[in-house]
């Protein structure tokens, strides 16, 4: 199974820890694959992605914010959007 991860709104402490935990558990326990959507909802709307793996999430705990980035993009406020 392939799972997408998105962080929206503003950065907050702990998002990298959540991303890392989800990826580690999903890969090790279930064999899932993960893709991260970059810059909040802008990622899926514009195809901005990055691979999330054990390697790409290693060492992110002390970093603030989110490795995926965030934005204030709201798909419900885009003309002809959702």
| Lowest mean pLDDT segment, chosen from 2-6, 34-38, 65-69, 73-77 | 73-77
CA dist list (Å): 15 to 32, 41, 44, 49, 81: 20, 16, 19, 17, 27
- Tens digit of pLDDT for each residue in 34-67? 999 999 999 999 999 999 999 999 999 998 889 9
Residue 82 lies in a domain: no
Residue 56 lies in a domain: yes
Q: Does residue 13 register a pLDDT over 70?
A: yes
Domain count, the chain: 1
Say what the pLDDT of residue 78 is: 82
Mean pLDDT, rounded, for 70-79: 84
DSSP 72: -
Residue 19 lies in a domain: yes
Helix H or strand E segment including 19:
helix 15-25
Structural domain harbouring 23: 2-77
E strands present in 7-58: 33-37, 49-52
Residue 41 lies in a domain: yes
Q: What is the CATH number of the domain that holds 71?
A: 3.40.50.450
């Amino acid at each position: 199974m392939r799972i997408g991860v998105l962080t929206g709104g503003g950065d907050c402490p702990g998002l990298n820890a959540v991303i890392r935990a989800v990826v580690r558990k999903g890969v090790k326990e279930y064999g899932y694959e993960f893709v991260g959507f970059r810059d909040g909802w802008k990622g899926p709307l514009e195809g901005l992605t990055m691979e999330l793996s054990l390697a790409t999430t290693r060492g992110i705990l002390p970093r603030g914010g989110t490795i995926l980035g965030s934005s204030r993009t709201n798909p419900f406020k885009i003309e002809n959007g959702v």
